[in-house]
Structure 1
Amino acid sequence: MNRYARRRLTAAVLTVVAVTAGVTACGSGSGSSGTHSAGSGTYTVWDPYPQFDKTSAWAQVLDTCGKGAGVKIKRTAFDTSDLTNKALLAAQQGNSPDVLIVDNPVVSTLAEAGVLTTTDDNKIDTTKVDPNLLAAGQSGGKTYGTPIGANTLALYYNKKVLKEAGVDIASIKDWKSLTAALAKVKQAGKKGITFSAIGTEEGSFQFLPWFWGSGAKLTELDSPQGVSALSLWKNWLTKGYAPNSVINNTQTTSWQEFASGDYAFAENGTWQLAAADKGGLDYGVLPIPAAAGGNASAPTGGEFVTVPVQDDTGRYTTSQKLVSCLTGDENLNFTDKTLSYVAPTSIIQAKEKAANPELTPWIEAVKAAKGRTSDDLGTKYPKISEQMWKAVQSALSGSQSPKDAMVAAQVAAAK
C-alpha cells in the first residue's frame, strides 16, 4: 500500500472510530480473530451476521466453500457498524481478513481508503449481476466486490383495512392515487400509512424511494422534485394520513404500528416478511409507486462480498474461489433464503419467483432499486444523507417549510 493510500486509510479510520466506540463480535470455529495467525491452510472471513452461530445454515455454506477450495474457514461475525471499524483498523495494521462481507454503502468508503482489491484484480465474475445492484459497489469506474443478495423497501398493505375503506389495491399506481386511498381509509375510521422518518440513516433510507420517485437527484436536494417528495410526507401528516410518531419511528417501531392491524400501509422491507406471516395479518405487498406512475427506485440493502488487500498476494487465488463459491448459482439461491434476500442475478430471481410467487413484488422492487452511493457519489453520500434526514425532521416537525428545509440541506451538503 503506497504512502498516499496509507494517509487515506488513517483518515478513514479516525473518521469512523470517532463515530462508534465499542466493538462486539462472535466467531465460529477455533482460534483467535487474527487474520494470518491461523496459518496458510486457514482463510478468514468476516461478516455482519452475528445472529448466525457456527451451527447455522450460513456457517455451513462457508465451511462447504472452504472445503471446495481446500482450506479451513475461520469466521468472525460483527455488528454492521463495528465491522467497518474493524476492517479499517485491520487494514491499517496489515491484518485484513481474506474475505470481507460488508453493507453495500460501506464499499466505497473502504475502496477509497485503499482497503479493497477490485474484481478485475481478482478475476471475480460479475457479468450475471443486475447492473443496478452492482453499481452500489462501484467507485471511480472500478468494481470492488459482488453482492451476495439484496433487499429493499416496498409497501405492505392490510387487505382487511383496505376492503373496509373501499380501496382497490389495483387502483394505486402513483402518488395521487395513493393519497386518495389514504383519504378513503381515514374516512372509514382507520389509520393510513406509517413509516420511519427518524433523524438517522434509517430516515434517509425510507425517504429515498419518494425522493428518487419524484425524479430528484441526491446532488440537488432542493430541486422542485425533491421538495415535492418532502411536501408529500408533510401533507400526509398535516391531513392525518400518517401519524406524528413517524418523526421518531425506527423501521422496527413503524412495523409494530402496522402489526397492530389498524394501518392500511407500512413502508418496510423484506426482513419483516417472517414477522408479517407470524403476526397473522392478511397482507399484501406493493412496490412503492413513483410520482407519475411506475415503480420508484428504492435504496438497495444487502451486502457485498469483497477481497481486502493482502501483503501476501498469493492468497488471492483461494480468496477468489471462496467468493465465486459464495456468489455462484449453486449456492446463491440457498444463501439468499438463509439471509432473507432476493438474489442479485436475474437467473436466480426467476427460480425464486417460480418457487414462491409471493416474492414477485419484492423482486420487482429490487430490480428498480438503486444503491445509495450510486451515481459515483461514493463517500459523499453520508454527508448528503445527514442533511436530507435533517431536512425531513425540520419539515415534519413544522420548524421549516419543505422548501426551506431542502434549500438549507443543499447548502450544508455542498460545503
Structure 2
Amino acid sequence: MPSSLLKLVFLSTAVSGYWLPETVGNGKFKTCIVPKSNGDDSPAITSTVKSCGDNSRIVFRSGTEYNLLTPLKFSGLTNVEFSIQGNLTLSDDPSSVSAVVQNSTIYPGHWITISNSKGVTITATNTQNGGWINGHGDKWWPGANDSSDKGRPHLFSFGVTGLRLRGLKVLNPVAWCFSMGGQDVYMTDTLLDARSMNGFPFNTDGIDVSASDVVIDGWKSYNGDDIINVSPPAVNVTMRNIVAYGTHGISVSCSTGNGSGYLFENAEIHDSLLGARFKGSVGTTCQISDVTWRNMTITNTSYPIHFIEDYVDQEKGAAGKDTSLAAFAKNFRWENIHAHTGPSLKDGSCVSTPCWSKTLDESTKKGLYLICKDADHCQDFHFSDITLTSADGSAGEMVCVGLEGATNLGIPCTNSTLLATK
C-alpha cells in the first residue's frame, strides 16, 4: 500500500442515512469478523455474510490482507455494513484474473456484485495503511496498447436501495471501478489512484451511474478515463467537491431513454484530456434535460468544455450508423468555469490515427466545443462567467455548430475567440 496518502479535506453534507450501524445502537446489530485463509478468502467472506444475516456488520480485520481470487456476489441483503479495516486485494497475476473473467460460470460481470438489496453500507478506515482495495492494474498496464482486452475485470456493481459508500480507496484498478444502479445512494470521500509509471491505465473509469437520487460528495482521482459518466435512466444525480488528474471528463452520455437532473459542482480538473463533457451516441436518440456544470477550474486540458450530440469513436468510425439521429438536450447550464487548454490534443489513450477523441475543427487554442445537430436538439442552453485561455496564453477560442444566430446562450455562437463572459 502507498507509504503516503494525500490528505483531502471534503465538505460534509448532512443527509439521513438509510441504515448505519452507529445510528441504531449496540445490541441492534450483529458483528461478524471475516476469518483469514491461506489462499482465496472469497469463500470465507461469502460464508460470513450468509451466516451473519441481516442487520449485521461484516468486519475485515485491521492489519490483514484478504485475497479476492474469485468474484463475490451478494443478493437480497438487508441492513448490512462491510467495514474494511484491513485491505482487499485481487490477484497480482493478470493471467489468473483474466481466466476468471472469461469464465461466465463464475464471473457475473463484476468482481464484487451486490444486487437486489436494501440498506448496504461499505466503510473503509481512514488509516494510512488500511481500507484499500488493490486491483494490481500496474501489472496489466505495461502490456496494454489499446482498450480491447476482454480479460480485464470490472470492479464493483451495485443494485441497492439505500447505498452508503464511505471513504473508499481504490489503488491501481485494472479498469472500470464502480457501476451504480438502484436508488438513494450517498458516496463520500473517495480516492481512486491509478497513477502509472509504465503504460497507460486504459479504461480506469471512476463511476458509471444509472441510479437515481445520488449524491457523491468528495472525490479525488488519478485515472485514465471518465471521473463519472451519468446516463439514463438516472434521475437526480449530484457530484461535488472533485479534484481530478488525467481524466476524460465529468461526463453525461446517452444513447437511449430519458434522464434529468444532473448537477456537477466545485471541481478542479488538471492535466487531462476532457473536462465538462456531454456525448450523445451517433445513430441513436435520447432525451436529457436539466444538466449543470458549475464552479470549475480546468487546467492543462485538451478539451475543457466538450458537448457533442453525435459522438463517435473516431478510431472505429460511424459505418452503418444512422447519422440523422442525435440526442435531444434541454436546459443545459455551464456556470463559473475557468479553463486553460493544454499543448496537446492527445493523451496515452490515443493509439490510432485519427485519435478516438478527434473533434471538428480542434485546436489547442480552443477550450469550448458546442456541436449540436440543430436548435431543436439543443434547447435552452446558457453559459455564464466563462473564461478560456489557450495553451500559449492567448485568449481561448470556441467551436459552435447548430446554434448559429442564437441570442440567448449568454455567449455568441462563434468559431473564433470567446471573450470572458458574465
Note whether the superposition's TM-score is higher than 0.5: no
Which of the five TM-score ranges fits, normalised by the shorter chain?
Answer: under 0.3
Higher RCO (C-alpha under 8 Å, 6+ residues apart): 1
Q: TM-score, normalised by structure 1?
A: 0.24
TM-score (structure 2 length as normaliser)? 0.24
Structure with greater helix percent: 1
